[in-house]
Amino acid sequence: MTGSAPLLLAYLASSLLFILGLKQMSHPRSAVRGIVIASMGMLVAIVATLLDPQVAGYTYIVVGLIVGSALGAYLALSVEMTSMPQMVGLLNALGGGASTLVAWADLELSQNQTVDTLIAVGLSGLIGTVTFWGSLVAYAKLEEFKKFKKPFSLPMQPVINGALLLLALVFIGMLATADAGTGQTTSYVLILVVASVLGLFLVLPIGGADMPVVVSLMNSYSGLAGAATGFVIDNNALIIAGSLVGASGVILTQIMCKAMNRSLVNVLFGKMAGGSSGGDTDEVYANVRSTSADDVAMILDGAQRVVFVPGYGMAVAQAQHAVRDLSKLLEANGATVEYAIHPVAGRMPGHMNVLLAEADISYDKLKEMDEINPTLDSVDVAIVIGANDVVNPVAKTDPNSPIAGMPIIEVDKCRTVIVIKRSLSPGFAGIPNPLFALPNTLMLFADGQQAVMDITKAIKEL
């Protein structure tokens, strides 16, 4: 470590705050506190860095802080919860791009750099550029841009990706041994070119249903790029913060891969797409039965145990408050109400937990998939609100499906299933859901919020 004792102590304090903040974020009840603590750690690190005597060019730094803070505040206040995954993707891209540019600037401005620093420069450019382009593709897929909705891959794509990675490592070796000046710059540019192609090829083959895993992985990459850049500019706080983000991101990615029955190796090398379309839609939905809010109210009137299964559609409809009101009414009538939460419900980890917490729904009522699945056969009514892929039984029955092997909320075991959706449109995986046509399923075609409010009103009028 380099720097004065007060600076090192400030970096140590910020690191401890980062670790404590991450610990607090492990549970929804303390997550907000964790974010505040981690933000304080970042503030300490920024102030300490600005007070470092080696720092110069305060005019540009202040302008950057003002512009960045203004943009951050605007995004935080204006971006809807439903668009949060896209924003995370963009922020990951910006983090990776920033690491690439900082490393490049240091390469051009510094003289007689050591081999280990040049290796760090190369790794920063490689990881940062992969993160930049991969995150932009993830953003495009989450935003459902037409040209990016369908996975794209070349024959032997994982092999090609592995070859590109090896080529990038060769260029890093060239960078570490090249003469200062044009030779190093040329090697670095070659790294960026190969990393750009690799970043695109890693994410383009992956289907939309697996984007939450990709966003988590790109978040990890952005942290690793930041840590590498910390070695380049000899900043201990950046090394520690980047390492924490990188490690926690990998752990989260592994947890999500397990929840979706995916291979982490396949994620790393861009092999998660494929599968059939799930059958002819007209044939799958031949026996779909629709219902009304009044009929659903009568079914719920005698129910003893009710389970809500929230999905992305609930987020779009902003129906969480209406769901809370309905659940309170059902509990007042003697029913037990729970919420079945799939690990990747919505489009990013914890999406549903945040929405339900926003509506002041008790954390004790939120049940993870593994906890509630064994008891679903004793549920009188399951109400699926805007969820699709996470309740699709095709994951268990069709080995060629894009979601084959993904654990689901097994609502098909419940006595009655009420699915609230605007239409029979497919989920993010783009395949039909045979759950909608099962004998114990009724479809309520309506806006999620309005449908729940109509059910609540109908129950009160019984």
Most confident range, picked from 51-65, 71-85, 191-205, 241-255: 191-205
Domain that holds residue 6: 1-78
Question: Which has more confidence, 308 or 404?
Answer: 308
Is 389 labeled as catalytic in the residue annotation? yes
Which one of the listed residues 106, 389, 398, 412 is annotated catalytic? 389
Mean pLDDT, residues 263-287 taken together: 66
Nearest to 391 by CA among 458, 329, 347, 345: 345
Domain boundary residue, one of 232, 247, 269: 269
Mean pLDDT, residues 372-384 taken together: 95
> Do 422 and 286 sit in the same domain of this protein?
yes
Q: Which 8-state DSSP code applies to residue 435?
A: G
Q: Which tens digits make up the pLDDT trace of 174-221? A: 999 988 878 899 999 999 999 999 999 999 888 766 777 888 889 999
108: number of Cβ within 10 Å: 11
CA distance linking residue 71 with residue 448, whole number of Å: 32
The answer to whether residue 59 sits within a structural domain is yes
> Do 29 and 54 sit in the same domain of this protein?
yes
In angstroms, what CA-CA distances link 83 with 148, 209, 217, 243, 276? 17, 16, 18, 27, 28
Could you give the angle at which helices 31-50 and 236-259 cross, rounded to 10 degrees?
A: 150
Spell out the alpha helix ranges (H) of 153-286.
157-177, 182-203, 211-233, 236-259, 264-268, 281-284
Most confident range, picked from 45-59, 153-167, 188-202, 223-237: 188-202
Q: Is 308 helix (H, G, I), strand (E, B) or coil?
A: strand
CATH number of the domain that residue 405 is part of: 3.40.50.1220
The whole-number pLDDT of residue 400 equals: 78
The answer to whether residue 354 sits within a structural domain is yes
> Do 305 and 445 sit in the same domain of this protein?
yes
Largest CA distance in the chain: 84
Chain centre distance of CA 52: 35
> Do 228 and 338 sit in the same domain of this protein?
no
Tokens of 313: 């559609």
The pTM for the full model equals 0.79
- Mean pLDDT estimate for the chain: 87
Nearest to 18 by CA among 2, 46, 40, 47: 40
388: number of Cβ within 10 Å: 24
Tell me how many domains the chain contains.
3
Q: Which tens digits make up the pLDDT trace of 31-54? A: 789 889 999 999 999 888 888 877
Domain boundary residue, one of 50, 78, 106: 78
Is the CB of residue 207 less than 8 Å from the CB of residue 402? yes
> Do 298 and 246 sit in the same domain of this protein?
no
The whole-number pLDDT of residue 272 equals: 53
Confidence tier at 89 by pLDDT (50, 70, 90): confident
Nearest to 340 by CA among 308, 379, 377: 308
> Do 62 and 104 sit in the same domain of this protein?
no
> Do 114 and 137 sit in the same domain of this protein?
yes
Confidence tier at 1 by pLDDT (50, 70, 90): very low
Confidence tier at 308 by pLDDT (50, 70, 90): very high
CA distance linking residue 385 with residue 319, whole number of Å: 9
Question: Which has more confidence, 5 or 162?
Answer: 162
Query: 302 pLDDT exceeds 60?
Result: yes
> Do 232 and 259 sit in the same domain of this protein?
yes
Mean pLDDT, residues 326-346 taken together: 91
